[in-house]
Amino acid sequence: MLPKAAEGHVVQLDGKESEAIAAVPRWSFITVSYNSADALKTYWGSATIPAGAEWIVVDNSSSDATVSIAESLGARVIRLEVNLGFGAANNIGMNQSRGEFIAFVNPDVTVDFSTLPALERVVQSLGGVIGPQLINPDGSLQPNGRGIATLPSKIRNRLKSETGTSGYQRTAEPGEQIAVDWLIGAAVIATRQTFDKFGAWDDHFFVYYEDSDLGMRAWKHGVPVHVLGDVRWIHGWARETTSFNVDAWKRELTSMAKFYSRYPALLGPIRMARWAHPYSNPTTRAANGEQFEGTISNRNESAA
């Protein structure tokens, strides 16, 4: 269902109408762009979209060459009149997509399309939301899995990273399927049916914290969230608030206020957060082999 905030803002669906009714793809890759021309050239420039897949770019009213570059690289572009934000644009893309498997992928991510069969097997066996283990361009692990998003955890994370399988930042080694509270929004994958269970992205968040919220809602609806160590995609990761950017910090603080007003128990320590949101304890639930709507999370015991 198209988010109400986005109704009436879709200007044009580029491409011939005959292409829109072509054979239904198995995979839909959805990318939200905003002045992302350079990122698309760098991370998608050498990509060849495989048969059985579609790539949809939802452009948030870019002023650079994003649209023309995306089209030249094989994307079907949805142009928006105004910048509706990350979550709303992702939902528009999903509503216009046709695949059974949905992958929300940022402009600065390089997809390894050869890993799709492995992703399908894991998505179908776990029945939840999956993130590939992201890596930096130099090949080092990037912690795209996260623990519960308490405010103290986030503050500590900004001051000192805690990477591993039990800290706030979490990574998965080959052979591991690590249960996490949420995934950073750069690469988030599930079946269409799974996203429909909890509503995918909440467009009340313009940008920032929408990925934390997605994880909270997924677990609340019995949908597990995992990082898959056997699948690795490159992510450039250029976060605006790692430096002093007034507008970016305003957007982050606005989303932070919305998030913690929705989950006030997360303002305190982890113990209080787990008590208030017992469904959001993936480490315990997955390690115990708890069932999630007919499937079992098989998180590697070494990461428990």
Residue 25 DSSP one-character state:
P
- The values of phi and psi at residue 196, to 5°, are -65, -25
Query: What is the distance between the terminal CA atoms of the chain, rounded to a whole angstrom?
Result: 37
Structure tokens, 250: 């305003």
Which secondary structure element, helix H or strand E, spans residue 190, and what is its range? strand 187-191
What string of DSSP letters covers 40-91? HHHHSTT--PPTTEEEEEEE---SSSHHHHHHHTTPEEEEESS---HHHHHH
What pLDDT score was predicted for residue 296?
A: 30
Query: How many Cβ atoms from other residues are within 10 Å of residue 75's Cβ?
Result: 26
Q: What is the pLDDT along the chain (304 residues), one digit of tens a residue?
A: 334 344 434 545 555 444 544 589 999 999 999 999 999 999 999 999 999 999 999 999 999 999 999 999 999 999 999 999 999 999 999 999 999 999 999 999 999 999 999 999 999 988 899 999 999 999 999 999 999 999 999 888 877 655 544 578 999 999 999 999 999 999 999 999 999 999 999 999 999 999 999 999 999 999 999 999 999 999 998 654 455 577 888 999 999 999 999 999 999 999 899 889 887 766 545 444 444 333 333 333 222 2
DSSP string of 248-295?
Answer: HHHHHHHHHHHHHHHSGGGGS-HHHHHHH-GGG-HHHHHHTT-EETTE
Q: What is the CATH number of domain 4-237+246-291?
A: 3.90.550.10
Question: Which residues lie below 8 Å from residue 216, measured CB to CB, with a gap of 6+?
Answer: 149, 181, 182, 263, 277, 280
Residues 258, 209 contacting (CB under 8 angstroms):
yes
pTM for this prediction: 0.84
What are 282's two structure tokens?
């993936």
Give me the residue label for tokens 């995934």.
183
Which residues is 135 bridged to in the sheet? 141, 234
The helix (H) or strand (E) run that includes residue 233 is strand 225-235
126 and 297 in contact (C-beta within 8 Å)?
yes
What SS3 class is residue 171?
coil
What pLDDT is stored for residue 5 in this prediction? 40
User: What phi and psi, each to the nearest 5 degrees, are found at residue 242?
Assistant: -80, -15
Question: What whole-number distance in Å separates Cα of residue 106 and Cα of residue 172?
Answer: 20
